[in-house]
Structure 1
Amino acid sequence: MAPTFVVVPQWQGSVSPRAMRLVDGAEMIRGDLPSSATAVVDVPVEAGDAIESGIHRLSTILLVRERQAAVLRGVSDWALTIGGDCGVSLASVEHAARQHPNDLALVWFDARPRLHTAESSPSGGFGGMVLRAISGEGRPELLLDAASTVPLDRIILAGARDMDDAEAEVIDRHHVPVLSANSLETPDALLAALREVGASRVYLHIGLDVLDPAALTGLADLVPFGLEVEALTRLITAVRGEFTLAGATIAGFAPATIDAGNDDMSSILRIIGAVTR
């Protein structure tokens, strides 16, 4: 079946100076989606409060998670979530994992591993903590229930190239596979890693900063030496050819202007096409 598109224009999980552009990016993508298959999650304009958690804007992040989960409960098959910041994957991975609790693997395409907790994060932004929460560690109010947690031994980091020491320690301790952009020029290493974890169903998180800034200008975070669009779509197609897709996220589109955003949209639509066709 075709996916339901769930648009979540959340910016509160990002600490980038470009964070507010994430709202514009989500809305721009929404304009090219079929309206009959698209649901929009209402995201407050206000920043929200940390509520003594060490996580910026946590109150709004929790509210959006609740609203997003309510929308996802109405999805009949699988959802392609459009962010917003990378934090929107929390509710979407939770939804997919509840449907497929025993055989779900997570491929995390992102320049950063997002494996901080509030205690280790140098920024306090939830966007840098979301994958750690998905794997079952962090603030209690952000964790998934036991049935929908995706453990680190079923997560593959694809294209990560900017990580802090605390994140590197987690990766080393749990032996999380990290596939460099160079190793992803062909799908072989990624498919082998998925076979190694025994996956049959896969969730794809696609933080657009996995791409090289020269390939897509409208990025909230600019991290050089990333993937080209063609390489990313080739990887997505290969994963879908061997494994069942349980859901996906595309996040991090932050166009500086309408014209610049329009220049990027052909690439983003190619990525959406690879995920959905």
Structure 2
Amino acid sequence: MSPASFLVIPQWQGSGSSRAMRLIDGADAIRGDLPTTATHSVAVPAAAGEALGTGVLRYSSLTLVRELAEAELAVLEAPVVTIGGDCAADLASVQHAVASHPAGSVAVVWFDAHGDLNNVSTSPSGAFHGMVVRALLGDGPDGLAATGPARLHHEQLVLAGTRALDDGESAFVDRVGIRLVGPDGFDDPQTLVAAVEATGASAVYLHVDLDVLDPSAVDGIGFPEPFGVSPEQLSDAIRALRARFELVGAAITEFAPESPEAAGRDLPVILRVLGALTGPLRDVG
């Protein structure tokens, strides 16, 4: 694997959490441990933005961030590890990775307690971080939905560690047959490897929402869900995927610490996940 580039996108506008602004602090906390020469940033607008009749809260700011991120990605050396921000912080990063490789060759593994598979008609909140995967699949407002070679097909998607789906999301997963590996599937890292092998992909993009972890492992998340995976299980799964497939991009998202002191308590776990994404591989069994 080539040395990673890092793109920090402290986007908060996609979040539906009352602590959304803390996502800025979370991104800044992680940035402090990244190599300066390999780290770039997107200047996220301060304005919340307007829905503009799309049904997506803060739509105008979200589309602007996507455009700014696309400009940065065009000049960065892959693989790029995006540091969010909310779950939509790497919208452009996923689309860029998918579009930069032959059709069907990239699988996206979405490590997340939630599916993020709502669309405008099913979303209970209007917050885009719950719609980002559906937009990657091409279902969303102009300026956010993936099109052309950037569009992800459902056969290329694997939900990992997911355990809290809205009714509309569950219906969509069942209808199109999206692959899902629940937390119990992390006992053996090869379970997730097999799920990606079934997509026919030769490369992976790994999106990590920190709420995939059990709440006992990390405090600074806005939407904790019980019965998540351990940091060791997540790290082993990531390394197993990297050992089998080319890593074409990754992200760590949804870190929203309550204070600098709280961020310091969570950072060892986050840096362990970051190390799994970018560090030397070891035998994962």
- TM-score using structure 1 length: 0.98
CA distance in structure 2 between the partners assigned to 1:4 and 1:35 by the alignment: 10
- What is the match of residue 4 of structure 1? 5
Q: 1:120 aligns with which of 119, 122, 132?
A: 122
Alpha carbon RMSD of aligned pairs, Å?
0.8
**How do 1:1-277 residues align onto structure 2 when only pairs under 5 Å count?**
1-102=2-103, 103-277=105-279
- Is this contact kept in 2: 1:233–1:274, CA < 8 A? yes
- Distance in 2 between residues matched to 1:61 and 1:239, nearest whole Å: 30
Distance 2:145 2:267 in 1: 33
Could you tell me which amino acid in structure 2 is paired with residue 269 of structure 1?
Answer: L
- Residue 154 of structure 1 and its aligned partner are, at CA, apart by 0.8
- Looking at structure 2, the residues matched to 141 and 67 of structure 1 have their Cα atoms a distance apart, in angstroms, of 12
Gaps of 5+ in 1: none
Whole-Å separation in 1 of the counterparts to 2:47 and 2:154: 33
C-alpha distance in structure 2 between counterparts of 1:77 and 1:216, whole Å: 29
Partners of 2:166 and 2:42 lie apart in 1 by 32
- How far apart, in 2, do the equivalents of 1:148 and 1:141 lie? 12
Shift of 1:239: 0.3
- The amino acid of 1:4's aligned partner reads S
Could you tell me how far apart the structure 2 residues matched to 1:23 and 1:98 are?
A: 28
CA contact (8 A) 2:69 2:92 kept: yes
Cα distance, 1:145 vs structure 2: 2.1
Partners of 2:78 and 2:249 within 8 A in 1: no
**What amino acid sits opposite 1:40 in the alignment?**
S
Q: Which runs of 4+ in 1 moved over 6 A?
A: none
Note the alpha carbon deviations across 1:115-164, whole angstroms, 9 max, x for none. Answer: 11111101000000000000111223211221111111110000111111
- Cα deviation for residue 269 of structure 1 reads 0.7
Answer whether contact 2:210 2:221 (CA < 8 A) is retained. Answer: yes
1:7 aligns to what SS in structure 2? strand
Aligned residue for 1:112, secondary structure, equals: coil
Equivalent residue, structure 1, for 2:282: none
Q: Conserved in 1, the CA contact under 8 Å of 2:158 and 2:178?
A: yes
Residue identity matched to 1:145: T
Deviation digits for residues 190-220 of structure 1 (CA, Å, limit 9, x no counterpart): 1111111111000000011000111011112
Farther off after superposition, 222-231 or 133-142: 133-142
Shift of 1:237: 0.4
Q: Which consecutive residues of structure 2, in runs of 5 or more, have no partner in the other structure?
A: 280-285
Partner AA of 1:220 in structure 2: G
SS at match of 1:147: helix
* TM, length-normalised to structure 2: 0.96
Query: Aligned partners of 1:143 and 1:124: how far apart in 2?
Result: 15
User: Quick one: distance in 2 between partners of 1:176 and 1:77?
Assistant: 27
Separation of aligned partners in 1, 2:182 and 2:77? 35
Q: Say which SS state the counterpart of residue 88 (structure 1) adopts.
A: coil
